A and B are shown apart, each in its own frame.
Chain A
Amino acid sequence: MIGERTERREDARLTSGRGRYLADHDVPGLAHVAILRSTSAHAVIRGIDVSGATALPGVIAVVTQADLDRAGARPMTHRLPLLGVLPLEWGLLARDRARFVGEPIAAVVAATRSIAEDAMELIVIDEEQLPAVVDPFVALAPGAPLLYSEWGTNEFFRMTSLPPVLGDVLATAPYVKQFRLTDHRIAALPLEGHGVQAAPDPATGTLHVYASNQQPHQLRTVIAETCGLDEQSVRVVAPDMGGGFGNKQHFTREECLTAMLALITGRPVRWIQDRTEGLISSIHSREQVHDVTVGYDDSGKVLAYRVDVTANVGNPILYFSGIGPAIVTVGALEGGYDFGVVGFDLRCVATNTCPIGAYRGFGQPQAHFSSERTLDAIAVDLGLDPIDVRRRNLLPDGPRPWITGGGARIDVGPLGPHLDALVTEFGYGRWRDLQSEARADGRLVGIGVSALVQGTAPTQYGVAGRFGSYESAAVAVLPDGRVTVAVGTKSQGQGHETTLAQVAADVFGVGVDRVTVTDGDTAQLPYGMGTWGSRTAVMAGGAVLRAATQLREKMDRIAAGMQTASAEPPTFSEIAEEAWWQTHRLPADEEPGLQQTVVYTPGNTMPVPDEHGHMNFDETFAAHMTAVAVEVDPETGDVRVLDAVLVSDCGVVINPMVVEGQHQGGFAQGLGAVLFEEVRYDDDGQPLTSTLVDYTIPEAPDVPRLRVVQRETPSAVAGGFRGVGEASIIATPAVIAGAVADALAPLGVEITSTRLHAHYLRRAIRAAGYTPDASAFASR
């Protein structure tokens, strides 16, 4: 039932080796794909000699873009419905130019993956190296190597919103600060990498695709387009998934390529991404530089806020590309604050690096990092408490929805009480006392706070063309009284088989064990939007709620007319039997059976300007307040989290345990992002983090428990739900940075980057003139 800590029903399968992931779908005659990738960051491909590879025993096909052209493959494009994006189409393989290390150049289909990899080594590429550019500012400078010479620039996209009054307010503000903030590049790294398996069905002429993808219906659309098939000729099934995190949100070259390889060879083929492919070529995220100008008064109230965003989008050959998250960044600059006049100048810059794209949080962590660093800087400058500075800038507690200048309809509950709850639950005053004691002791303890208002369940029409704000659900009550639910979203491990079952069970008043939830199969529903953008509880939850409610009402009508032997009302199962098997007894205007398909939208979003010029991208908003205390070891740079509390208001909570899990997981990823992970390249565009020895993610001992305090302000959408999946990954980098900055303030170290890894902090601490104390260190 809604609100209960129902144990996750999928876990019995997923934790005992009975899950079926992409690689668990062997079929007779299955062939295996290996993809030859560019080892050059930038090169002209003059020729590809595949003769040696083709001759290797066990090799079925070696395919280049020329072969794909002959087979009728069509180019991909970013599908951005934006003015001013430079034109860009790309093949499923590089045709005559490689623009990042890891770009696919040729594919081998063989009896085994080992043979395919042996054959890959026999492919000879005749290429001419070109100068590469890795840094976006270098890429923008005159004379920089151009990725696409026809553009005449590497500036793929620019979007500016600088209200004329912005300059005036900044000029007259009592205080003005300018600083540069940097968000470094990371990778989402789902535990199960990408994978796809495609098999042509000779009987029907259709193509059956398994893909570890968050949006199977849209993948079907893109595969149909690139392979030249009708949409109904492609069935996509997303099986059990070991994570997605946005990394499996894009529709990739590899997914379409594998489909084409099945068509070309006429047999089932499978490609499983290996970890190095995952790290160098499967979508990076976050890399942005923010040049912030903020004007404020002596109470700490922000009067004007300008952020010039330079977003490295890599080689942007990706559906919606890195522009998508970058646009979300500039749309989320204020978050839950009123910053007076806000402006931005966004430049999306192509470089010879892996494409930048989605990762849980999708542009919002960068916006939040900047707003929180800015408020902390104001607090330090004016000698104010960072909590007070946030209070002065938070949106007023009413009215709701609060309609921003741009038209966002922010429907969160009152923010002040959430902040009060944070102060109490975290023990803010006590932590400040402990901090004073620690400082007197020479220890570096710091406290960070963050106040996040996050748009959830968005329409991404504006940044992805086809990502509308609706969801499909088909609910049926079978003759034996069992309930089936099919949805167009796709669980990647979030527990949807439990939470969506709770929603249906709640409506029907039956046990959760009577409800079976399935997802990820395009054969089940005409269309669906998949899982991303903190949307499933709101969108699929709402769709299930609607469909189940309509069925429940029908069952009540049928029950009213039923004759039972006893005086007892008919049972749930008896009504179901009646609806399916005693149809002659149903009321005259009642259709037989119990099944209902709903395509649901809350209807709050508007991705293009309305008559007032307003746009609202989110169906509903959620509020999350976070505080952490950390201690930094000045000798090693290690950051230890002493306490972490998150006050969560995601509306009506379907399952508190699942919400806690979402927050704990996002906390782990957010912590990993700033303390351990970084995608690095050398100046020539060679990746330096191509294995998990170099790309270090947090492990169990590195992630403390996040204390979650749940508060419920129901939203006005169906069920009163709000999205929750991305909150803690957005908040965590900002709040950890705030705490580290606070800890290091006595040493004069300033934190202006998300790079809080021990080795960076160590260098910053030394650069600030701190001399390590070997004696103290030795006895610790």
Chain B
Amino acid sequence: MKPAPFDYVRCANVPEAIAALSGDEGAKVIAGGQSLVPLMAMRLARPTLLVDVNDVGLDGITVERDVIRIGACTRHRRLERDPVIARVAPLLQEAAGLIGYPAIRTRGTIGGSLVHADPVAELPTVLVAAGGFVVVRSGAGTRVIAAVDLFTGFLDTTLEHDEIVEDVLLPVAGTRHGSSFCEWSPREGDFATAGVALAIERDDDGRCVALGAAACGLASVPLDCSTLLAAVLGETSASGALLRQIARVMRADLAGDPDRADLVGLLAARAVHRAFARSDERSAAAA
């Protein structure tokens, strides 16, 4: 379990890293290395050059009116513990705390998790549910990719070889926002067998006016479930009838492994229940 031979360069800034990537078709960016290194040890990944971006200055969190901008090298542990994230992106905060174990979260980065594009990972699911974006840079400049356009398949994205994720953009949660990430795995810290990320916004009357949801574990990419959960729109509470309907609809309409579809339905019901409860708490705190 030793990696195949590879070269390594530690870059001081983004242009350097892009240049290094451009110069070697087998190059791969490394930040936290929590997914890449095990794959290399098993020789399932065989990069010829590792481009280390830990020093290029891509970590940090800034809130810009209704958008939160998170540097690609920001560690999961920071997302989990940062009070700003807890306030403006509670779904991201909860999901970050569900990734692996503290040691993994201390090293792993948001950008790394997104471009690794593991279909059972938490953060890609959050990006789809929240309708977020990634800002990527190459020698040709920057472009912004919407979550639904980023993931194309198992461990596969629309990123070009010489593109580096610089930032992740997520909407700032409203005053009546409620969210929940519910997943099931055989053991704490495992990759989820199935999971649901869900965020709602409510109006002053408590009616759900916006909803974003995605599920992991069912397909080779995080699955946008917002349409399947449309019944939640306009509701003022998570009634038992609503929750049962959600589970039934999702179990019936989701393709793939019926066991996982069953779990996703149940987890979606739980996510809706918790999102309403948290929205109630947030509204009460704001009042």
Q: Which residues of A contact B (CB under 8 A)?
A: 113-114, 117-118, 121, 274-276, 635-636, 676, 691, 693, 696, 698-699, 701-702, 757-759, 762-763, 766, 772-775, 777-780
Shortest CB-to-CB span from B54 to chain A, Å, is 23
Q: Which single residue of chain B is at the shortest CB-CB distance from A702?
A: B187
Cα A696 to Cα B187 with chains together (Å): 8
In the complex, whether B210 has a CB less than 8 A from a CB of chain A is: no
Q: Given A775-B243, A775-B244, A778-B272, answer yes or no on A763-B2 (Cβ-Cβ < 8 Å).
A: no
Q: How many A-B residue pairs have CB under 8 A?
A: 79
With A635-B266, A691-B42 known as contacts, the answer to whether A778 contacts B5 (CB < 8 A) is no
Q: Are A113's CB and B2's CB within 8 A?
A: yes
- Check B8 for interface membership: any CB of A closer than 8 A: no
- Of the candidates A113, A121, A774, the one whose C-beta lies within 8 Å of that of B269 is A774
Contact with A along B222-255 (1 / 0, CB 8 A): 0000000000000000101101101110000000
Complex: A113 Cα to B4 Cα, angstroms: 11
Q: Across the interface, which residues of B come within 8 angstroms of A121, CB to CB?
A: 4, 43
A606 to B266, CA, bound (A): 59
Q: In chain B, what residue has the closest Cβ to A276? A: B1
Q: Please pick, from A691, A699, A772, the residue contacting B266 in the complex, using a CB distance under 8 A.
A: A772
Q: Give the chain A neighbours of B265 by CB distance below 8 A.
A: 772, 774
B191 within 8 A of A: yes
Given contacts A276-B42, A691-B42, contact A117 B2 (CB under 8 A): yes
Shortest B252–chain A CB gap in Å is: 13
Spell out B's residues near A (CB within 8 Å): 1-5, 42-43, 184, 186-191, 193, 238, 240-241, 243-244, 246-248, 259, 262-263, 265-266, 269-270, 272-274
Q: Are A778 and B1 in contact (CB under 8 A)?
A: no
Whether A777 and B269, one on each chain, are in contact in the complex, defined by CB atoms closer than 8 angstroms, is yes
B244 CB contacts on chain A under 8 angstroms: 773-775
Q: How far is the CA of A121 from the CA of B241 in the complex (A)?
A: 59
Cross-interface CB contact of B186 among A691, A758, A763, cutoff 8 Å: A758
A699→B244 CA distance, assembly (Å)? 33
Contacts of B274 in A (CB 8 A): 778
- CA–CA, A693 and B240, complex, Å: 36
Contact of B270 among A275, A701, A758, A778 (CB under 8 A): A778
The residue among A117, A118, A758, A779 with the most chain B CB atoms within 10 A of its own CB is A779
- Smallest CB separation, A273 vs chain B (Å): 10
Contacts of B189 in A (CB 8 A): 699
Taking a contact as CB atoms under 8 Å apart, the answer to whether A778 and B269 are in contact is yes
A276 to B38, CA, bound (A): 12
Instruction: Tell me the complex Cα distance, A153–B224, Å.
Output: 54
Verify B187–A698 contact, CB threshold 8 A: yes
Which 9 pairs across A and B sit closest by C-beta, in order of nearness? Answer: A774-B247, A775-B240, A778-B273, A774-B269, A274-B1, A114-B2, A778-B270, A778-B269, A775-B243
> With A and B bound together, what is the CA distance between A140 and B236 in angstroms?
63
Evaluate contact between A779 and B191: CB separation under 8 angstroms: no
B187 touches A774 (CB 8 A): no
Q: How far is the CA of A27 from the CA of B274 in the complex (A)?
A: 59
Instruction: Considering the complex, give the chain A residue whose CB is closest to the CB of B247.
Output: A774
Q: How far is the CB of A113 from chain B (nearest CB, A)?
A: 6
Distance of B59 from chain A, by nearest CB (Å): 28
| Complexed CA–CA distance, A763 and B269 (Å) | 20
Contact of A696 among B186, B238, B241 (CB under 8 A): B186
A779 to B262, Cβ gap below 8 A? no
- Contact partner of A774 (CB less than 8 A), chosen from B1, B184, B266, is B266
- Chain A residues, Cβ within 8 Å of B240: 775
Point out the residues of chain A lying under 8 angstroms from B269, CB to CB.
Answer: 774-775, 777-778
For B191, the closest partner residue in chain A by CB is A693
Which residue of the partner chain, among A698, A759, A773, contacts B259 with CB atoms under 8 Å?
A: A759
Per the bound structure, the CA–CA distance linking A691 and B1 in Å amounts to 11
Contacts of A777 in B (CB 8 A): 247, 266, 269-270
Which residues in A have their C-beta under 8 angstroms from that of B191? 693
Other A-B pairs, 13, CB within 8 Å; known A701-B188, A777-B266 = A114-B3, A114-B5, A691-B42, A757-B186, A766-B262, A774-B243, A774-B244, A774-B246, A774-B247, A778-B243, A778-B269, A778-B274, A780-B270
Q: Are A779 and B186 in contact (CB under 8 A)?
A: no
- Quick one: closest A residue to B263, CB to CB? A636
- CA separation between A699 and B189, bound complex, in Å? 10
**Chain B residues within 8 Å of A757, by CB:** 186
| Distance in angstroms between the alpha carbons of A759 and B217 in the assembled complex | 14
Cα A772 to Cα B264 with chains together (Å): 12
Q: In the complex, what distance in Å separates the CA atom of A275 from the CA atom of B43? A: 14
Whole-angstrom distance between the Cβ of B118 and the nearest chain A Cβ: 11
User: Please, how many angstroms separate the alpha-carbon atoms of A747 and B266 in the complex?
Assistant: 19
**How far, in whole Å, are A763 and B186 apart by their CA atoms in the complex?**
14
Q: A279 to nearest B CB, angstroms?
A: 12
Of chain B, the residue at the smallest CB distance from A779 is B273
Is there an interface contact between A636 and B187, defined as CB atoms closer than 8 Å? no
Return the chain A residue nearest B277 by Cβ: A779
Q: How far is the CB of B227 from chain A (nearest CB, A)?
A: 19
In the assembled complex, which residues on chain B have CB atoms less than 8 Å from the CB atom of A778? Answer: 238, 243, 266, 269-270, 272-274
**Which residues of chain A are near B272, meaning CB under 8 Å?**
778
Contacting pair B247 A676 (CB below 8 A): no
Residue in A closest to B248 when the chains form the complex, CB atoms: A774
Please determine whether B243 and A699 come into contact, CB atoms closer than 8 angstroms.
no
A475 to B62: give the CA distance in the assembly, Å.
71
CA distance A486 to B3 in the complex (A): 42
Please, how many angstroms separate the alpha-carbon atoms of A763 and B193 in the complex? 14
Q: Name 11 A/B residue pairs within 8 A (Cβ), A-sorted.
A: A117-B43, A276-B1, A636-B263, A766-B259, A772-B266, A774-B265, A774-B269, A775-B243, A777-B269, A778-B243, A778-B273
Measured between C-beta atoms, what is the minimum distance from B257 to chain A in Å?
A: 10
Q: Closest Cβ of chain A: how far from B101's Cβ, in Å?
A: 9
Give the Cβ gap from A686 to chain B, nearest Cβ, in Å: 15
Residues on B with beta carbons closer than 8 Å to the beta carbon of A780? 270
